[in-house]
Amino acid sequence: MKRSVKGTVKIILLLVVAIALLYLAFRDINVEQLVAGFKNANYFWVALAAVAAIAAHMVRALRWRLLIEPLGYKPSLTNTLGALMVGYMANLVFPRIGEITRCGSLRKSDNIPFDSLIGTVIVERAFDLLVMLALTLLVFVIRIEFFGSFIWNSALVPIANKVQGLVTNAPAILVASLVMGVALIVLIRKNVFGKKFHDKVSKFFWGLVDGVRAVFTMKRRGAFFVYTFMLWFFYWIMTWLMVFSIEATSNLGPTDGLFLLVVGSFGMAAPVQGGFGAYHIITAMALGIYGISKEDGLIYAVISHESQTLLFIILGLAFLVYFFFKFRKKGSAPVNSTSAS
C-alpha cells in the first residue's frame, strides 16, 4: 500500500513539472495565432513522418530481437513490436517505466526471463546514447558557428555544470558508494534479509549479466549495427519530413532536420512524462536561431510531439488488445515463440 502511494505521488509530481514546463513554454503566446497555425498545417507531411516513425519502431524491434536470440529465445516480430509500443505508451504515464513494461510484456508473451530482458535493454540504450553523442558532435562540427553555440549553451554547458558538481564530490561519493555496496553484498550473502531476497537479487544480477553478454555472443553482430544505423536514419527522416508541415519551417534542409533531431532528443530525455513541456521549450528555442517566431516554433513542436504521442497511444492500445486476446485464447499461459513473423 505504501509503495503504491509513493508511486502515485511521484507520478503526480512529475505531471506537475510537465504542466509547469508547458506553462512556461506557452505563456504570453498568441492563442489565435497558434490555432490558425494548426488549422493551416499540412498534415500530409505529418502522416509521412508517422510512417517513418513506424518504420523506426519496427527496426528497433528487429534490433532488440538480435539481442534476445543469444538467450535462447526468438520471439515473433509482432510480439516484440507490441511489447515495445506498450512500453512507449507506459512512458506517457511515468518516465522510464516503459523499459520495465516492455520487458514484462515480452516475458509474459514468450516466457523469456525478465532479468535477462532488462540486460538487453541496458545494452540497447547504451548504444543509442553513443549514437546520440556522435550525432551531437557531428551537428556541432558541421556548422559550429550556427548550431554549435546553441548546443553548447543550451545543452552541453548545463550538463557540464552538473557533472562538475559531481566531480567535485566524486572521491567522497565513490568511497561512500563502495563501502555501502560492499556492506550490502555482505549482508545479502549472509542472508540477513532472508534467503528469498538473496535468491531474487542473485537471479536479477545474473539475468542482467546474461542480457549484457548477449551483445558479445550474438551471431549477427553486423546486422545489429545496420539496424542501429537504420533506426536513427528513420528518426532523422521523420524529423525532417515534419518541418514541411508548416510554412515557417518548410525551408529547412536535411542538416537542419538532423539538428532538430538532436535537440528534440535532449528534450525527450527530460525526466517528465513523454518529454511534455521540455521538448516544446527546447525545440522552440532551437527554431528561434533561424529567426522563426516562438509561436511558429511551438506550432511545429506541438504538431511533431503530439502526433508521435498519438501514434504511441493508438499503437499501444492496439497491441494491448492484441495481447489481451492472445493471452485469453491461450488461457493466459506464456507462449515460447520460436518462429519469426
Tens of pLDDT, residues 292-315: 888 888 889 889 988 998 998 999
**At 27, which amino acid appears?**
R
pLDDT per position as a tens digit, 78-127:
999 999 999 998 888 776 788 888 998 898 888 888 888 888 888 888 88
- Going by pLDDT thresholds of 50, 70 and 90, the confidence category of residue 332 is very low
pTM above 0.85, yes or no: no
> How would you classify residue 175: left for phi > 0, otherwise alpha for psi between -120 and 50, otherwise beta?
alpha
What is the C-alpha separation between 164 and 230, in angstroms, rounded?
A: 35
The Cα 328–Cα 341 span in angstroms is 21
CB 261 within 8 A of CB 252: no
Read off the pLDDT of each residue in 169-190 and give the average, rounded to a whole number.
Answer: 61
Which residue bears the cell 543550451? 154
Inform me whether the pLDDT recorded for 341 exceeds 50. Answer: no
**Residue 336, pLDDT score:** 42
The SS3 call for residue 149 is helix
**pLDDT tens profile 257-294:** 998 998 888 877 766 656 666 788 888 888 888 888 88
